[in-house]
């Protein structure tokens, strides 16, 4: 998996726990309480491999592994749409493997 800001790679990890990220993002986006997101996984050395933070200008995406690289600030709706599209794709992939996606994604 890789996260890009324009053409610059913010974070790249071939063995990244995609399903775990989808679950965490799904739970976070459903709360929609304005809190920042910082991905925490036992598979990764540090918390925040993928982070989404609210700023005065909108929401930015970044990683603790590349703290100087941040996306442009975007409205909440852009973040929500992106997260929902990502979770939907992961859900479809889980279902195609014959696994109960609702149970895996905490839905």
pLDDT band at 105 (very low <50, low <70, confident <90, very high): confident
Q: Is the pLDDT of residue 54 over 90?
A: yes
pLDDT of 88 > 90? The answer is: yes
Specify the pTM: 0.85
Q: Mean pLDDT, to the nearest integer, of 30-54?
A: 91
The residues facing 9 across adjacent strands are: 4
- Percent of the chain whose predicted confidence (pLDDT) is above 90: 60
Could you give the CA distance from residue 50 to residue 3 in angstroms, rounded to a whole number? 8
Cα–chain-centroid distance for residue 5? Answer: 14
Average pLDDT in the chain: 89
Distance CA 57, CA 88 (A): 27
**Residue 97 confidence (pLDDT) above 90:** yes
At 5 the pLDDT is: 67
CA 83 to CA 66: how far, in whole Å? 21
> Does 7 score more than 80 pLDDT?
no
- Would you state the structure tokens that stand for residue 4, as one six-digit string? 């890009």
Which percentage of the chain shows pLDDT scores above 70? 98
The helix/strand/coil state of 61 is strand
- What phi and psi, each to the nearest 5 degrees, are found at residue 80? -60, -45
């Amino acid at each position: 998996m890789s996260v890009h800001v324009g053409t610059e790679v913010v974070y790249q990890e071939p063995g990244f726990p995609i399903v775990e990220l989808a679950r965490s993002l799904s739970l976070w986006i459903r709360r929609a309480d304005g809190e920042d997101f910082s991905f925490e996984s036992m598979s990764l050395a540090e918390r925040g491999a993928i982070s989404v933070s609210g700023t005065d200008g909108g929401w930015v995406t970044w990683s603790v592994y590349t703290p100087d690289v941040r996306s442009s600030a975007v409205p909440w709706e852009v973040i929500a749409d992106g997260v929902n599209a990502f979770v939907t794709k992961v859900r479809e992939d889980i279902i195609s493997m014959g696994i109960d996606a609702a149970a895996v994604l905490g839905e």
